[in-house]
A and B are shown apart, each in its own frame.
Chain A
C-alpha cells in the first residue's frame, strides 16, 4: 500500500476561514479569519478552551459545515462539502448497531460503491491493524467503549483517506485505554502516512501525537497560535524533553 500513499499529498490550507452562529438572535463569532497550512502527512493537534470552535473547525474541514467566508483547500484545490480524500472519526463511535464489526468497518467503502468482496477484504486488514480480529462478527452492543472506538477508527482508515479528521476520539475512554489507543494511533499514523488533524482537550495527547499544535483562543480578538513539537518519534512520555514541552503547552493555558 506504500506506493499509493507515496503519490498522495493530503495537503490542507485554510484561507481566511470564518464562521459564526446565530444564537438567540445574537451573532456568535466562533472562528475568525483562520489561516493555516498543513503539510501532507503532518499531524496537527487542535486545542483550546471549551467552546472555542475546535469541533466547528473540524466539521468545516470534513465538509459537514459551511464556512461563512474563506475556504478550505486540499492539495491546492478549493473544496465544498464532503470528499473522498477525507474521513472523520467522531467523538462517539457512531457504529450502526445492526451491522457486525466487519460490516461496520466496510461501510464507508461500500456506500462509496465498492464491491462487498473488496470492501470486506480491506476492512479485515484494518480490523487487524486496530487489533480486533477476534471480534469480526460481533455486534456493536457486544463491544466495550474502547473497542467500539477502534472500530470507528478502522472504518475511517478503510476508505484510505489522505486526511484523517479526529474529534476528541479518546475523550470518552478511561485513562488506561486512552494511553494504549494513543500509542496505536501514533503507530497507525506512521504506517499509513496520512495527514492527521486531531481535536483534543488533552495537552499530553497533543504533545504525544502532533508535529504541531494549533491553539485556538476563546477571545475572538486574539490570534490562534501554533506551537511546534520538536520531539523524536516514537515519543516517550517520561523523557525530559517531553515533560518540558508538555509544561510549555500547559503554560500556554495558564496552567502549571
Chain B
C-alpha cells in the first residue's frame, strides 16, 4: 500500500475559481467534510432526521464544552490516552525490533512465522475474555488486549519493509565493501522507514479501535465507556461529544505521525 493513497485529497474534481490556489486546495480537501457537517446541521434543525438521535452540531458542541467545563471528560481522556499510549508504545518497541530481526534473518522468520500467523488470525477481541481471566478486569488486561491487536500491523509492516528493500541497493553497498551491519544501518533501515511509518499509522488506528472496544466491555472510565454510558443514560449529545473526541484523537495521532514521517523522509516527497 502506498502512503500517498491514504492521504489523497478526495475532492479534486470540484471546479473552484482558480484565483486562490491555497483556498482552493483547502476547499477541495475539506469541502466534502464541511458539506457533510452542514447537511447534518440542517437536517437535524429542520427535523429531516430525528434530532433526539442526531442532535444538531451546536447542541453536541455545547454539550462537549459544558462537560469539559465541569471537568467531566478530562479524566476519561487521560485514562484513554494512557491505555492506548502504553499499549501502542509497547507494541512499537517490540514490533519494530522484532520485525527488523525477522525481516533480516531468514531462520528467525521461518521459525516465528507460523505462530505469528496463528495468533494474527485469532481476533484480539475473541481473546479478551482469556486475557481477563489471566490478568483480571483491571488496567492490565485492557492494555494487553490493545497491545496484542496493535502489535501485528507494525510487526508485519516492518518485516515487509525490510524484505522489500531493493536487492540492487544492498548489492551496491556490498560491492563497495560495506560490512553486513553497515549495510543494515545505512541501506536496509533507511529504506524500510516509509513502510514502518505505514505500520505505525495502522497500529495507531488499531490501538484506538481496540481501546473503545475494551472500554465498552469492562470499564467504568474512558471515552469508550462514556459513549456507552451516555447512550445508556440517553444523553445523546454527550454520546456524540465523546465520539467526536475519539475521532479527534485518531486524527491527531495520524497527523503527528505524518508530520514525523515528513521530517524523517524528506527525500521521498510523501506529499507530492
Contact = CB atoms under 8 A, between A and B. Distances in A.
Contact of B176 (A87, A98, A139): A87
Interface in A107-147: 107-108, 111-112, 139-141
Given A94-B169, A111-B186, A64 B176 contact: no
Given A64-B174, A94-B169, A111 B182 contact: yes
Contact of A64 (B175, B266, B268): B175
A96 B169 contact: yes
Interface in B216-272: 265-269
A154 to B, nearest CB: 13
A141 B176 contact: no
Contacts of A155: 176
What is the interface residue range for chain A against chain B? 20 to 34
Contacts of B187: 96
Contact of A107 (B168, B176, B265, B267): B176
Contacts, number: 58
Contacts of B176: 82, 87, 107-108, 111-112, 155, 159
Contacts of B168: 90, 92, 94
A49 interface: no
Contacts of A62: 175
B190 A88 contact: no
Contacts of B173: 107, 111
B267 A64 contact: no
Given A90-B168, A92-B168, A111-B186, A97 B268 contact: yes
A82 B193 CA distance: 28
Given A84-B177, A88-B175, A108-B176, A98 B182 contact: no
A84 B193 CA distance: 30
B178 interface: yes
Given A98-B267, A111-B186, 6 more contacts: A64-B174, A90-B172, A98-B268, A99-B267, A111-B179, A112-B178
A40 B265 CA distance: 43
Nearest to A111: B178
Nearest to B178: A111
A210 B265 CA distance: 42
A108 B178 CA distance: 8
Given A92-B168, A96-B169, A141 B267 contact: yes
Interface string A58-77: 00001110000000000000
B190 A96 contact: yes
Contacts of B265: 98
B58 interface: no
Interface residues of B, number: 22
Contacts of A63: 175
Given A64-B171, A98-B190, A82 B267 contact: no
Nearest to B268: A97
Contacts of B268: 97-98, 141
Contacts of B172: 90, 94
A101 to B, nearest CB: 12
B267 A97 contact: yes
Contacts of A107: 173, 176, 186
Interface string B161-203: 0000000110111111111001000110011010000000000
A107 B173 CA distance: 8
Interface string B136-176: 00000000000000000000000000000000110111111
Contacts of A64: 171, 174-175
A98 B173 CA distance: 14
B94 to A, nearest CB: 26
B189 to A, nearest CB: 10
Contacts of B193: 98
B167 to A, nearest CB: 10
Given A90-B168, A92-B168, A94-B168, A141 B269 contact: yes
Contact of B175 (A82, A96, A99, A139): A82
A82 B269 contact: no
